[in-house]
Amino acid sequence: MLALSGGFTRIERVNEDGPLTRLDMLRFARRVVEHQAARQLALMDRWIADEERRETERQRGLAARREAPAWTIERGLNGRSAVYVHAGGCAGAGGRVKGVGREQAVRALTDGGVPACPLCRPDTVLGILE
């Protein structure tokens, strides 16, 4: 009988009674294939578990993502002066926007003198005529 040792670096003959038969070699080959298949399955299982973990984290991140504000006010470079009032999700809004409520947006357009974005026209959406 043949036995595996140390990661297949050496094949040892367990039974020294006679020459190796074809059946001995086939049984040994089957054990080698079985061992390799088990290692490959374990690797594949690890890959599947990793991908499931990544997908769970992605879904958790999507669920935790805050909803875009309905109205935003874009600030100038100094961070204090307001440049435009935007409807939420406006493609023209720059990176210096702050989400505000409807009342704050109306106040900024009417009392604050902040102009409405010419792309998304929040004044029209809010029913404010200039």
- CB-neighbour burial class of residue 68 (10 A; exposed 0-12, middle 13-18, buried 19+): exposed
SS3 120: coil
Q: Where are the alpha helices (DSSP H) in the chain?
A: 22-64, 102-110, 122-126
What's the whole-number average pLDDT of the chain?
Answer: 84
Beta bridge pairs of residue 2:
13
Quote the pTM value.
0.50
Q: Where do the structural domains in the chain lie, given as residue ranges?
A: 2-64, 71-126
Please state whether 127 falls in left (phi above 0), alpha (psi between -120 and 50) or beta.
left
The tokens of 9 are what?
Answer: 């670096």
CA dist., res. 102 & res. 57, Å (int): 33
Specify the pLDDT at position 13.
Answer: 60
Instruction: Tell me what the mean pLDDT of segment 103-129 comes to.
Output: 86
Contact (Cβ atoms closer than 8 angstroms) between residue 34 and residue 4 = no
Place of tokens 């140390």: 6
pLDDT tens, residue by residue, 57-85: 999 988 887 777 888 888 888 877 888 99
